[in-house]
Structure 1
Amino acid sequence: MKTSLKSAKRLFVALIFVALGSCSIAHSGDGHSLKVTASAYNSVKSQAHGNPSIGAWGDHLKPGMKVIAVSRDLIKMGLKHNTRVKIDGLPGTYLVKDKMGKRWSRKIDIYMGTDVKAARRWGKRTVIIRW
């Protein structure tokens, strides 16, 4: 009985190491980095439920703000409300002020105010985020 318990513990520890090793979050000197899909969104009624200028945590969004919405799995990885995020290839620092629907994973939406054309030009891209 003790032998099988030891074997089970070893197997469990091995599985934990394999699971952690397969995560693609990289720990850099500054914190974390992750490859995600990035699309863009606007504060317009056609893209929102309720008031399009209020984020999921109740923040008022205004054109010109550097804000992102994150998928729920990213929140569990540490991208919580008001986390500062750098997006490779874009200037400045963005704040997490909005959440995406539950169906999305490894995805961010970059807030582009009311400029729907800019959001369409952005389209969908793969980017590296750092926090």
Structure 2
Amino acid sequence: MTPSYEWIPMEVTATAYNSVPSQTSYEHPKITAWGDSIKPGVKWIAVSRDLLRKGLTHNTMVKIDTFEGVYLVKDKMHWRWRNRIDIYMGNNIKKARQWGRRKVIIQYAVTTDTVSTSP
């Protein structure tokens, strides 16, 4: 049975990041907080830890209003951030800086109960 999803909208502050030591882990800049190996070209985001409690956990599907496609939650941000996502932009630091910081509407997928109660 194919799962079905409800898409929950939410306004967040969006920034961008790259897999370079100054923006991630100095020891392992290409490893996310959940241990995934990051590489340019993937549609991944990091989320502030308060969003984990709202359901944006590891591998949650997310649509971002200014980008095409579906992104996956693959990283966690520092404890100090709130209501924020960080969009992964590979090694293109200039592109990430040009993005800056802005408010966006995201939608994240929550699996709906597809079990029927009828006989």
TM-score by length of 1: 0.76
Indicate the structure whose relative CO is greater, using CA pairs within 8 Å and at least 6 residues apart: 2
1:31 deviates by: 2.6
Percent identity, aligned pairs only, is 59
Aligned twin of 2:19 = 43
Aligned twin of 2:117 = none
1:122 deviates by: 0.3
Superposed CA RMSD: 1.1
**Structure 2 stretches lacking a partner, 5+ long:** 109-119
Q: Paired residue for 1:112, among 68, 85, 89?
A: 89
Q: How many residues align?
A: 103
Aligned twin of 2:80 = 103
Other structure's SS at 2:22 match? helix
Q: Deviations over 1:17-53 (max 9, x none)?
A: xxxxxxxxxxxx8331110000000001111222111
- Structure having the higher helix fraction is 1
TM-score by length of 2: 0.84
CA distance in 2, matches of 1:114, 1:127: 22
**Structure 1 stretches lacking a partner, 5+ long:** 1-28
Matched, 1:61 2:8: no
Q: Paired residue for 2:52, among 66, 75, 81?
A: 75
Structure possessing the higher radius of gyration over alpha carbons: 1
